[in-house]
Amino acid sequence: PADDVAEFYLKAQKSTKSFLDGVETESYGYNGDYLGPVIQVQKGEQVKVHIKNELGDEETTVHWHGLEVPGSADGGPHNAIKPNEIFSPSFTITQPAATLWYHPHPLHKTGEQVYKGLAGLFYIEDEVSNRLNIPKSYGENDFPIVIQDRNLREDGQLSYDLNMMSLMHGMHGDTPLVNGVFDPYLEVPQGKVRLRLLNGSNARIFQLKLSKDNHFWQIASDGGFLEKPVKMDQIVLGPAERAEMIVDFSQYKQGDKVQLFDQDVRLMNFIIGTPEKEKFEIPDQLTTIEKINPPSGTVTRTFAFQGMGNSVNINGKQMDMNRIDEEVQLNATEIWEITNIDNGMMGGMGMPHPFHPHGVQFQILERNGKEPPENEQGWKDTILLMPGDKVKTIATFKKDGVFMYHCHILEHEDAGMMGQFEVN
Ligand code: C2O
Ligand code: CU
Ligand code: CU
């Protein structure tokens, strides 16, 4: 029945926003001037989203990054929404609690539309996230932290100029934004706080750490909770990767300032407020993750990421809408081995490439021949490959349809570092 469906409305629109004092910047946003609302759903829920394209004269799509949905409900380049049209996909949430996100995916235009502001977070909650005694009050002790870099210095506009540099390395900017704000302040309770981090940049890799030698506990990776919290001093997030962190601010005095840095660039400031109302411990165990074991006769596919600038490719091929690169059987478990071929030797540039397949969460069997680090032992949908890296992933393909796999440096993706797989 219709009243059991959770309905959401997204309007992709043009707007203006003041990022830097005294400058009005032309921007894109969902239902607002930059970025979009946080969509929150429960596991098991039926969801319907009405997406309206009000961008004027360009097509767009909305892709559910990390969500396990059929290809027909996903906004890959096939599901282009024409100007002034509405697309209303519906789907059921069948995966565990996680911090996912959504963003446009039109052919050759993903980088530009995301850069101008189209992206938002998508939270799934379930019996585990509802039961765990961790911070979960949105905007009080549980904060979305979307980190991006943009070029606003010259004329204050988000002009998307592809040149040799940005084509090669992806679009980088000198102005860091958190939730669309430059160098923001956030008052946090004097206690434990949950940060849902998304690297929403087009190409930059963030190396995040807190000031005052503070550390954090990572509790979730892209696709949901880790089995156990992992204590860390810093975390590296490639484009599109997420991590949920718990930070303990109880050791500071009211009014103290703790900052979040990307290497030595300050991203934001936490101001310690009043003591937390609820008491949280860092749980010993968060959830259990059943390890996917490769059944005998498991299909193994290999993907080689290589090339530079306009010639970036996967297995020697560039994206072709009329070609399906891989055929996968519905419900099959497969091993995908991804290699970043260009190791910077032999005259190459040694480019990082974050690998991402649509419609599926995977586990990592090996990173460079070894067991992956603890914080990569949960569900992942994006995995950063530095030059020469080789990663062995395993996944069960539970949704049917046509899906993309690609490099999540959006300028590489738009240049053709993308392929299609069909599950049926
Ligand atoms: Cu964020 Cu095709 O992905
Ligand atoms: Cu995606
Ligand atoms: Cu790449």
Question: What would the pLDDT profile of 160-195 be if each residue is shown by its tens digit?
Answer: 989 999 999 999 999 999 999 999 999 999 999 999
Contact 416, 312 (CB under 8 A): yes
| Residues, CB-to-ion distance under 5 Å, ligand 3 | 353, 407, 409, 412
- For residue 1, what pLDDT is reported? 47
Q: How confident is the model at residue 2 (pLDDT cuts 50, 70, 90)?
A: low
Other C-beta atoms within 10 Å of 388: how many? 15
Q: Could you tell me if residue 63 is inside a domain?
A: yes
Q: Could you tell me if residue 98 is inside a domain?
A: yes
Residue 3 pLDDT greater than 80, yes or no: no
- 149 and 269 in one domain? yes
Domain that holds residue 328: 299-423
Between the CA of 2 and the centroid of ligand 3 the distance, in Å, is: 42
Please report the atom of ligand 1 found closest to the CA of residue 66. Answer: 1
Q: How confident is the model at residue 210 (pLDDT cuts 50, 70, 90)?
A: very high
Q: Could you tell me if residue 93 is inside a domain?
A: yes
- 110 and 233 in one domain? no
Percentage of the residues of the chain whose pLDDT score is greater than 70: 99
Between the CA of 415 and the centroid of ligand 3 the distance, in Å, is: 10
Q: Could you tell me if residue 283 is inside a domain?
A: no
Question: What would the pLDDT profile of 399-422 be if each residue is shown by its tens digit?
Answer: 999 999 999 999 999 999 999 999
- 123 and 8 in one domain? yes
Beta strands, E only, 211-307: 216-221, 224-232, 234-237, 242-248, 257-262, 265-275, 299-306
The average confidence (pLDDT) of the chain is 96
Closest residue by CA, ligand 1 atom 1: 65
Give the rounded distance of the alpha carbon of 39 from its chain centre.
14
Q: Could you tell me if residue 290 is inside a domain?
A: no
Closest residue by CA, ligand 1 atom 3: 65
Q: Which residues line ligand 1 (CB under 6 A)?
A: 63, 65, 103, 105, 240, 356, 358, 404, 406, 408
Number of domains in the chain: 3
Between the CA of 394 and the centroid of ligand 2 the distance, in Å, is: 17
Please report the atom of ligand 1 found closest to the CA of residue 103. Answer: 1
Of the candidate ranges 90-94, 98-102, 166-170, 345-349, the one whose mean pLDDT is the lowest:
345-349
Between the CA of 241 and the centroid of ligand 3 the distance, in Å, is: 14
- 162 and 112 in one domain? no
Question: What would the pLDDT profile of 320-351 be if each residue is shown by its tens digit?
Answer: 999 999 999 999 999 999 999 987 776 667 89
Identify the domain boundary among 74, 109, 131: 131
Q: Could you tell me if residue 287 is inside a domain?
A: no
**CATH number of the domain that residue 344 is part of:** 2.60.40.420
Name residue 318's beta-bridge partners.
Answer: none
Whole-complex ipTM: 0.99
- 146 and 127 in one domain? no
Contact 148, 205 (CB under 8 A): no
